[in-house]
Structure 1
Amino acid sequence: MPLTFQLDPPVDGALRDGVLALWADVTNAGGAVGFVPPVTPEDIRPEWVRHLTALSEGRDRLLVGRDEHGAVAATAFIAFNTHRLMRHWVWLHTVMVHPAHQGKGYGRELMAAAEKAVRGFDSIEAIRLGCRGGLGLERFYAACGYREVGRVPGAIRVADGDDRDDILMLLPLG
């Protein structure tokens, strides 16, 4: 069954708990979403608060995918640029699909929903995202239409002796 997506859902305790649980589960399954396992929802809470601040200030938008039971199963944050020379593109970040739902095409659904949402914004010409090398994520994003436009070798240190490339991907909307 496909996910149901909502841009800018009301932020309440259920959404908070759902996103925090998703974020912890994705991280603990090896997902590259800003943390290194093991983590708990409480470990992630300060980052969620930073995201809430960006949402409340209008710098970010939140896209949530819910499964057939209404549980948070996928998310992506869309960040607007504040630099006057870069306002024509947005960042897509913290892209997550719950491990229990991976392999069902939900990642592609999430990326398509994000693209659709961004196409509804005025004057946005492209979506950029960064991903961690060593996991094959760039192949997934390429299959969704993104192309690699930059790479910084060893820029992400996930552990001593485990440095990964920071890969920049771009989806032109024109």
Structure 2
Amino acid sequence: MPLTFTLDPPLTPELRDGVLDLWTDVSNAGGSVGFVPPVVREEIRPELVRHLVAMAEGRTRLLVGHDAEGRVAATAFLALNTHRLMIHWLWLSTVMVHPRHQGLGYGRDLMAAAADAARTCEGVEAIRLTCRGGLGLERFYASCGYKEVGRVPGAIRVAPGDDRDDIVMLLTLG
């Protein structure tokens, strides 16, 4: 059964906790969302709070996918540019699908829903995101229409002696 996506859902305690649980589970499954396992909810909470503040200030929008049971199963944050020369594109970050739902096409569905959401943002013509090298993520994003436009070798230090490339991807909206 497909996920049900909502852009800018009402921020309830249940939604906040659902996003926090998703972020924790994705991180502990090895997902490239800013943390290295093992991680607990309280380590992620401050980063989620930063996202929530940006949402309250109107700088960031939240896209949430719920599964058939109503649980938070996927998210992406759309961060609007505030620089006057860059307002024609936005950043997509913290792209997550719960491990129990991976391999079902929900990642593609999330990326399509994110592109649709970006099209609702006045003047936005493109989406940029970054991904961690070494996991094949750039191939997934390329299959969703993104093109690699930059790479910083070794910019992400996952662990001592384990540096990964920071890869910049771009989707032009049309």
Q: Specify the alignment match of 1:58 in structure 2.
A: 58
- Equivalent position SS for 1:109: helix
Counterpart of 1:161 in structure 2 is 161
Matches within 5 A, 1:42-57: 42-57=42-57
Percent identity between matched residues is 75
The residue number in structure 1 matching 2:25 is: 25
Distance between the aligned counterparts of 1:157 and 1:140, measured in 2? Answer: 22
Report what 1:99 is aligned to: 99
Structure 2 distance, partners of 1:53, 1:119, is 23
Give the root-mean-square deviation of aligned CA atoms: 0.5
Mapped partners of 1:108, 1:61: distance in 2: 19
* 2:152 match: 152
Report the number of matched residues. 174
Residue aligning to 1:88? 88
- Within a 5 Å distance, the mapping from 1:92-131 to structure 2 comes to 92-131=92-131
Q: What is the alpha-carbon distance in structure 2 between the residues aligned to residue 37 and residue 81 of structure 1?
A: 30
3-state SS in 2 of match to 1:103: coil
| Structure-1 separation of matches of 2:115 and 2:62 | 13
In the alignment, structure 2 segments of 5+ residues that lack a partner are none
- Which residue of structure 1 aligns with residue 137 of structure 2? 137
Structure 1: runs of 5+ lacking an equivalent:
none
Q: How high is the TM-score relative to the length of structure 2?
A: 0.99
Q: Which runs of 4+ in 1 moved over 4 A?
A: none
Instruction: Name the CA distance, whole Å, in 1 between partners of 2:40 and 2:8.
Output: 25
| Distance in 1 between residues matched to 2:56 and 2:153, nearest whole Å | 34
Partner SS state of residue 155, structure 1: strand
**Taking structure 1 as the reference length, what is the TM-score of the superposition?**
0.99
